[in-house]
Amino acid sequence: MLLAIDAGNTNVVFALVDGREIKTRWRIATDPRRTGDEYAVWLHQLLELEGYSKADVTAAIIGTVVPRATHNLEVLASKYFGVEALIAGEGKAAWPIPLDVDEPQNVGADRALNAMAAHAKFPGDLIVIDFGTATTFDIVDYNGAYKGGIIAPGINLSLDALVNAAAKLPRIAIEVPENKSVIGRTTASQMLTGVYWGYVAMMEGLVARLEEEIGRPVKVIATGGLAALFDKQTDLFDTVEPDLTIQGLSLLHEKVASA
């Protein structure tokens, strides 16, 4: 089976993939200082808890936006699983889709992987919204080319900035408000209203502008850990695909293996 590793700025997600089926997944906080040995101790225990062993891993692929974490993840694959990890976007695992932007070398691996996976699953023009440390809006045209997009602060990042800059504001959890009123009656409810409904308004406004600029029917796909937080409070998303980046890693590995 394939060990697919998505190293983001907040979390590293490990997934065990059989064919195109994600059998199980785990996440750990991103720390570029974490060694391959430390990853191995943690991951081997989780594999055993799910009924797998390290012998079940026959290949590995890494998609990362944290360059300092890459080496230790490669060590994990080679030392403890006996495989040479592919690095998404490099060497044999170069992007098989056009990156039709002014600085293709600066496109994050997660965004290219999302574009690949989304185009493989859905026809036509697409907007992929990924809720991570940043919230990104990526445009994929009907031919599968990545055309660019938008980078906005993630909702937790926005909340952290607000709390850190205002001494009397409490730290609150991001959750779905109890009702759709935008008039908060307490400090905490006013903060939640501003962050949550402000975020919904931002998404709806940006997608409307993107759709107008694209000028053709567009399907909107949401992914990332916080996508489900907004799904029931807006009709913006046509579908939610929480594992789009892992699906992209699996698809890229498949293309390399069949080449």
**Active site amino acids:** 110
Do the beta carbons of residue 243 and residue 15 sit within 8 Å? Answer: yes
Degrees to nearest 5, angle at CA 57 with 41 and 259: 140
CA distance 76 to 60: 10
CA distance 155 to 164: 14
- 113 to each of 78, 109, 144, how far by Cα in Å? 23, 6, 12
Do the beta carbons of residue 6 and residue 13 sit within 8 Å? Answer: yes
Span between the terminal Cα atoms of the chain, in Å: 18
By CB atoms closer than 10 A (0-12, 13-18, 19+), residue 56 is: middle
Q: Pull the structure tokens for residue 28.
A: 């750990």
